[in-house]
Amino acid sequence: MSRRLRILVLVSALAAAAPLAGCGNKESEIKSAETEGSYLDLGQLRYQIQISRQLNPADVEDRAYLRGVDPAQRALKPGQSWFALFVRVENDYKTPRKAATDFELTDTQDNLYRPVAIARSNPFAYKGGFVAGKSTIPPAESVAQLNESIGGALVLFKVKTASFDNRPLELKIFGPTVPQDEVTLDLDV
């Protein structure tokens, strides 16, 4: 094979391989998971449900999570329960990134639940907004992050108690940008 032909073959091979060069190095995005604790990639942030559980309004700790709920919303009807998600959001970038504020919870019978509003004065409440560069929601040293039993910001739902029999519950988190992206997580309460 002539030198010119070998160079042409080599150049052609390199040109064909160039688009594939970075394929094996990029981490794939995780858009759904079957357990709490998994990291989910939404927009340019990572979301993790630290814990999910029913709340008991008669319990001292749980009463603190319910502070700032509108009095008209506080009363549970027969067959209803409080359900809490404690969310951690990580921004690995140097600049602020917008966090999701749209959550949905459904059971296997297609009962749909949306979060109950909590006053911003509640130090556990998930507020969304922007996550500072190289920071988290809840912020470092905040009451919500320092609380070892939850480790996240509270997203609160009022659900039919029967929904806990219709497991798994599916959580959807919708991204704050258009076109809207979403992640899903199964919660086996």
The domain limits of the chain are 29-187
pLDDT bucket at 22, cuts 50 / 70 / 90: very low
Higher pLDDT, 68 or 5: 68
pLDDT at 15: 47
pLDDT at 19: 45
Range 128-159 burial, b when 16+ CB lie within 10 A, else e: beebbeebbbbeeeeebbebeebbbbbbbbbb
Mean pLDDT of the chain: 88
pLDDT at 149: 86
Q: Do 50 and 85 meet the contact criterion of CB atoms below 8 Å apart? A: no
CATH topology of domain 29-187: Immunoglobulin-like (2.60.40)
pLDDT at 27: 62
